[in-house]
Amino acid sequence: MVDMTSEGNSDHTTAPSPSPSPSSSPSPLPSPLPLPLPLQRSTVVLSAGGGRIRSANQTMVDAMAPMSSSRKQVLLMYTYLVVYILLSSGQIFFNKWVLSDSKFNFPYPVGLTLLHMVFSTVLCFLVVRVFKWVELKQGMTYDIYLSSVVPIGATFAMTLWLGNTSYLYISVSFAQMLKAIMPVAVFLLGASFGLEELSMKMLGTMSVISGGVLIASYGEVNFNWIGVVYMMGGVVGEAFRLIFIELLLKRKGLKLDPITMMYYVSPCSAICLFVPWLVLEKPKMDAAMQWHFDPVIMTLNAFCTFALNVSVFLVISHTSALTIRVAGVIKDWVVVLVSVYLFADTKLTIINIFGYVIAIIGVYMYNSEKLKETALKAANNSDLERQGLLGISNTTIKHKQSGPTELEVELRDSKENGSHVQGSQLRYISRNKIPKSTL
């Protein structure tokens, strides 16, 4: 028999077995009995700490559990990426279809964007305040909202307004090619605000992106200066928005996820869009009675915009920065290629594709360089933290080696004398008698 009593179980005692008499001869060992079939195929493992019997089959099942969980996480990550690419590209096609006078016939980009922001405001309020699916982080004040969120909301409204307006004049594929100039705008504005450092390597990367966009523009069949100006205005607005997020929020210690960001920004953007809609588009809508408004289609369009923001939140939560950037490049190519089959005004040429490939190579170089800088900063911060902890540890060791402090002597003497040190006295002693090196 195997004693299955664990060592830690001290209250359980076993009676001592009687000692054999000298005259008795040792009995022969019994022949081993055949084990049942399930036990023959498994190995018995005795746990010394808990006295449990575990089979090798159960051990293999436990070992395979993390592998199964890892596969589920990978599958979930790819699902989020596919949903993000489909929603992001689909929303571009959806907006183009709604704004086109030959399709849905609602050629009012400010009104469409205003509808998106109002819908997003309502849904974000429900998600954050009513259902509380997303926790609202502390730190937002009226001063931060007025000085930081309002400029971000205004530039976000500018980005959506001008970007959607460009679809009235240029094709979807050409608009997507022009968006490749975004890193150049962000870099130049960042350098002017002191956020980016000018270097020959980055200037070379910016030249590659700019050259690719110029070649793609040269090969555009349906070139329209008005559409190009609108799209470039949207690019500049987005660059300002990113710079403001870096300057006004991150440097103040506020890191907001996309849902929380939309919760704060959407109302401000809606207010900023209401004024130009009232002045520029409402008179046109009153004069022209042939535009189309379907509540179901418009609500679905606004919901897709909100779902896109949710997908961005999920992708950022479950992947890395490199993954989201690569997914963005894939999305751009999907939009460029699929738009040829969806819209008659989209015609790709060899020069278009050649220039866009050059621009995408430059974007990849820019993303790689930024990721390297981020990793280097993280490594430097980690080194500084380790050095700081090491310095604190060394100071503590030196203090212990030098003997007790005056505070410790005071407390020891009071204990030996039987006196009691009051809290106010202890605070006074700690303020005046603890060496500064130990704080």
Rounded Cα distance, 290 and 419, in Å:
93
Rounded Cα distance, 270 and 153, in Å:
8
- In 3D space, the residue among 164, 225, 223, 162 whose CA is nearest the CA of residue 345 turns out to be 223
Residue 88 contacts residue 324 (beta carbons within 8 Å): no
Taking the alpha carbons of 316, 318, 321, 327 in that order, is the dihedral positive or negative? negative
**Higher pLDDT pick, 233 / 315:** 233
Q: What is the mean pLDDT of residues 399-421?
A: 51
Looking at residue 193, its pLDDT comes to 84
Q: Is the pLDDT reported for residue 231 higher than 90?
A: yes
Looking at residue 122, its pLDDT comes to 94
> Each residue of 108-130: pLDDT tens digit?
999 999 999 999 999 999 999 99
Residue 212 contacts residue 147 (beta carbons within 8 Å): no
Q: Is the pLDDT reported for residue 416 higher than 90?
A: no
Q: Is the pLDDT reported for residue 59 higher than 60?
A: no
Residue 181 contacts residue 260 (beta carbons within 8 Å): no
- CA 387 and chain centroid, separation: 29
Taking the alpha carbons of 100, 263, 156, 256 in that order, is the dihedral positive or negative? negative
φ/ψ bin of 51: left (φ > 0), alpha (ψ from -120 to 50), beta (otherwise): left
- In 3D space, the residue among 320, 281, 267 whose CA is nearest the CA of residue 109 turns out to be 281
- b vs e for 372-405, b when ≥16 Cβ sit within 10 Å of the residue's Cβ? eeeeeeeeeeeeeeeeeeeeeeeeeeeeeeeeeb
> Each residue of 345-368: pLDDT tens digit?
778 889 988 998 998 898 888 888
Residue with tokens 């220039």: 355
What DSSP character marks residue 300? H
Residue with tokens 């989209």: 346
How many Å is the Cα radius of gyration of the chain? 34
Q: Is 100 helix (H, G, I), strand (E, B) or coil?
A: coil
How many CB atoms are closer than 10 A to CB 263? Answer: 22
Rounded Cα distance, 206 and 20, in Å:
93
Confidence of residue 257 (pLDDT cuts 50, 70, 90): confident
Residue 84 contacts residue 38 (beta carbons within 8 Å): no
- In 3D space, the residue among 305, 303, 328, 306 whose CA is nearest the CA of residue 315 turns out to be 328
Q: Is the pLDDT reported for residue 422 higher than 90?
A: no
> Each residue of 406-415: pLDDT tens digit?
545 454 555 5
Domain boundaries, the chain: 74-371, 388-438
> Each residue of 270-309: pLDDT tens digit?
999 999 999 999 898 888 767 778 889 999 999 998 888 7
Tokens for 358?
Answer: 């050059």
Tokens for 359?
Answer: 């621009």
Rounded Cα distance, 245 and 252, in Å:
10
